[in-house]
Chains A and B, each alone.
Chain A
């Protein structure tokens, strides 16, 4: 990609860290909300480059990690049905459910297919017209518009053997929950690609109600360091606000066309998050007009009470209360090959990021 090297330039990185050190007049704790940021921060070793005044915590922005256990159980129940093809993004495959993961079910001969895009699931539905394709729609505002496109295409084509199990979620309610809960956060490194869709308006309440800085950041090291510098400057000036550092991909109003598609198909509803529990209006539910494409309406399933894996502290990690290294299972019985919890399964999960880049630290 054009400019990639420039955004990783050592001289620029050194200049930014020096400036952050000079500007920070006290200790600051910032949360990177997005799992993609968590991964990038550890990959580029930012914790080692930053002065000791700056502490980073990972937050609730890894879609696979926050997906509730009962959702996985429901997906497993669909996989067990003879007439159903379950299509999923790869990351969800190994997340342990109460009795099994989708990966286990596939091993037992259930039809579980990993797709890279919802458009692939539509193609499978066209090819397998005698079977029902259930697509597992997880992710935040970045992914939800694609799911909306899928449902609208299915409707237009009259494709009747396709439906979606929505665990799509909105980012702001989780950030507010963390802001009011943790209490010691000074600001958010806001998710770049969620904001590409939503624009900056969704974060407005955070500076106003919680006095927290909010900078929408890109994913290269200089992007993240500049965002941290902007946060420090906001806080030093006593003026927390919403700002965009990632200007090449985020317009203030977001992507209006994508937002319209998302609003056409989804409405807000309460939703359950791993670690955070039920958050009002945090879910994106399929509107009644599109109930034909809503797996929950189309093929209702009953699942028993969800049981989390004993000892896994994913929930506390997602709230920024603990670090992966504080989990007794970390890198002992829980590894990316044999993950115990969702934060180790996902390539954007904090536990996997720590395992990959910080295990020997």
Chain B
């Protein structure tokens, strides 16, 4: 139950969004976030979007990992 999944926002209706993960759609309460847009990735936890996932940070972490690999 404590697992959170990274889901993409498909559409927004008031304080609820329809999000999609691995081909399935879910409803996500947006009460804890500001400025969520269609296309954003959010972490879905027990029916609420608890954070936006930063695309930039996701890429930077990967780059860092790759660089660490190359240093060997």
Contact = CB atoms under 8 A, between A and B. Distances in A.
Interface of A: 1-3, 6-7, 11-12, 15-16, 18-19, 34-36, 39, 61-64, 89-91, 116-120, 138-140, 142-143, 145-146, 149, 193, 196-197, 218, 222-223, 226, 245, 247-251, 255, 257-258, 261, 346-348
A276 B46 CA distance: 26
Contacts of A117: 27, 29, 46-48
14 contacts: A1-B6, A12-B69, A19-B68, A19-B72, A34-B2, A39-B3, A63-B2, A116-B46, A119-B48, A140-B2, A149-B32, A193-B43, A247-B57, A348-B2
Nearest to A260: B32
B2 A142 contact: yes
**Which of B50, B55, B58, B62 has the largest number of chain A CB atoms within 10 A?**
B50
Given A138-B1, A250-B51, 13 more contacts: A1-B21, A11-B69, A36-B2, A61-B2, A116-B47, A119-B27, A139-B1, A145-B48, A149-B31, A149-B48, A248-B61, A251-B51, A258-B32
Given A2-B41, A62-B2, A248-B58, A143 B46 contact: yes
Given A19-B68, A196-B4, A2 B31 contact: no
Chain B interface size band reads 35 or more
A249 B4 CA distance: 11
B51 A249 contact: yes
A62 B61 CA distance: 27
Contact of A145 (B4, B27, B50): B50
Interface of B: 1-4, 6, 21-22, 27, 29, 31-34, 41, 43, 45-48, 50-51, 53-55, 57-62, 65-66, 68-69, 72
Contacts of B48: 117, 119, 145-146, 149
A116 B60 CA distance: 33
Nearest to A92: B1
Given A145-B50, A149-B32, A248-B57, A16 B65 contact: yes
A206 B4 CA distance: 25
Contacts of B32: 145, 149, 255, 257-258, 261
A193 B4 contact: yes
Contacts of A15: 65, 68-69, 72
B58 A119 contact: no
Contacts of B3: 36, 39, 347-348
Contact of B51 (A1, A119, A143, A255): A255
Nearest to B7: A1
Contacts of B65: 12, 15-16, 222, 226
Contacts of B61: 218, 223, 226, 245, 247-248
B26 to A, nearest CB: 8
A346 B2 CA distance: 10
A119 B61 CA distance: 34
Nearest to A194: B2
**Which of B1, B21, B32, B54 has the largest number of chain A CB atoms within 10 A?**
B1
Nearest to A121: B47
Contact of A63 (B1, B21, B33): B1
Contacts of B31: 149, 257, 261
